[in-house]
Amino acid sequence: MVSGGVTKFAKAHPEMDFRLMCKNAFDRARAEVPNLRLDGIDGTRISYFSDHFTRQLKAASMVQDYLGLNPRGSVRIEWGGATGGECFQAAYEAVASGRMDTCLAIGFETMSRVATWKGNEFIALASDTNFDFPLGGFYTGYYALMVMRHLFEYVRRAKFSHISDEREAQRKAIEYGTRVMAKVSVKNHRNALYNPYAQYPKNIDVAGVLGSDMVSYPLTREQICTMSDGAAAAILCTEERAKELTDHPILIKGVGCGTDTMRLADRPFGKVLLMPHEKPSDYAHLEYPGVHSFRAGRSAGLEAYRHAGIENPGKDLDFIELHDAYSSSEIQTYEDLGLCKYGEGYDFVERGDAFLPNIDYGFPVPRAGTIPVNPSGGLIACGHPVGATGLMQAVFAFWQLQGTIGKHFGSDRLQIPKAKRGAIHSHAGTGSSVTVTIMEGK
């Protein structure tokens, strides 16, 4: 990767349609590599999630057209919430296969074109329309179901086994777990205070997160990402070409992708897919993935780690930008990606490993800086214009690894010192598809 560009994510961009948003993101990326002429781009991979939001089929053709890249090759990528991550990997494959020397990955979403609850309906159409959608199709509801089981498996059983009244024990587990989840939301909102691209930076505290509107119990509004308009672009090329274009290219070291059933109800109850540093006895009694964990995330992580030669991700990675559409799914993803074992996600938050050492969160974070997660603010604070989101992560990770956060954010506060290797993680519909990409600097 030699360059990236992002538009500010916003509730609405009335002054730009999707073509101009993409043009802006593309021009920002081009400004960093002045030696790259338009005819030096061999082709594109273009991503957006929903034709319903766009109400324009073949919108990717209009982006290609507007950027002045006809008649070169292009493909539209769609893969639910993981659309941006898939687009990035598709561009990587175009280059790695030798088909192109230089490929542009660019994505967008314009979600402001319908009211928020209509937008939720469009998103819920990415659930089974026979069995799931008509019951009250609502993604926050689906993720709430998943975290309720996660709380039952790991918190009720591990921390409240001394309470014999089942209902009361589960209530205590939910109360404890949601306080921990709220800390993730505080982290991401407060990190974003130093990211000028973020849509919802906020100096919020745990009480503010828990006191916001209840959306789907136990998820409150401040634990959920929002609808956004935005675009993001990444330029990928061969190593030889990269050296001609920039002094600071970033290597795509590993790619992984995993999938799971569309319906939550179909998820199997089998054995855990083990990380190299885990053993079967760690999970002797765990039925996996059930609805408590994202098997696709684990599968994607395993493939990417193998490809990149990573044995222990918690030690071998310096940071992760992951798909925190919900505070709960960030915790579930720590476990999928092997930052801690299954069941240790809540303790992992309390230990503070995923927090930044130089940000005040209003509560102690003893091990801050061990492996910062979503230093940019993630989806919860940056927004989630679906087709752009995974590419936004790639751009933020690229800047981290280049050491250019200060230049791009106007402050060094979110720069992770000596960041050498990072991961980005893009995730679709209750974990039905996930990508993980490992990026490495010099």
**Which residues are at the interface with another protein (CB under 8 A)?**
11-12, 14-15, 55, 112, 115, 117-118, 120-121, 124, 129-132, 134-138, 140-141, 144-146, 148-149, 152, 156, 166-167, 170, 213-218, 261, 263-269, 291
Task: Report the residue number, 56 or 238, with the smaller CB distance to another protein.
Answer: 56
Task: Report the residue number, 218 or 314, with the smaller CB distance to another protein.
Answer: 218
Task: Report the residue number, 129 or 411, with the smaller CB distance to another protein.
Answer: 129
d(CA 350, CA 177): 11
Task: Report the residue number, 12 or 38, with the smaller CB distance to another protein.
Answer: 12
Buried b (16+ CB within 10 A) or exposed e, 27-48: ebbbebbeebeeeebbbbbbbb
AA identity, residue 344: E
Beta carbon of residue 51, minimum distance to another protein (angstroms, whole number):
11
Asked whether the CA dihedral 395, 399, 401, 405 is positive or negative, the reply is negative
Task: Report the residue number, 52 or 413, with the smaller CB distance to another protein.
Answer: 52
How would you classify the pairing of strands 421-428 and 433-440?
Answer: antiparallel
Tell me how far CA of residue 170 lies from CA of 127, 133, 177, 348, in angstroms. Answer: 28, 28, 10, 21
Is the distance from CB of 275 to CB of 246 less than 8 angstroms? no
Task: Report the residue number, 279 or 285, with the smaller CB distance to another protein.
Answer: 285
Beta carbon of residue 330, minimum distance to another protein (angstroms, whole number):
18
Beta carbon of residue 290, minimum distance to another protein (angstroms, whole number):
8
Task: Report the residue number, 157 or 420, with the smaller CB distance to another protein.
Answer: 157
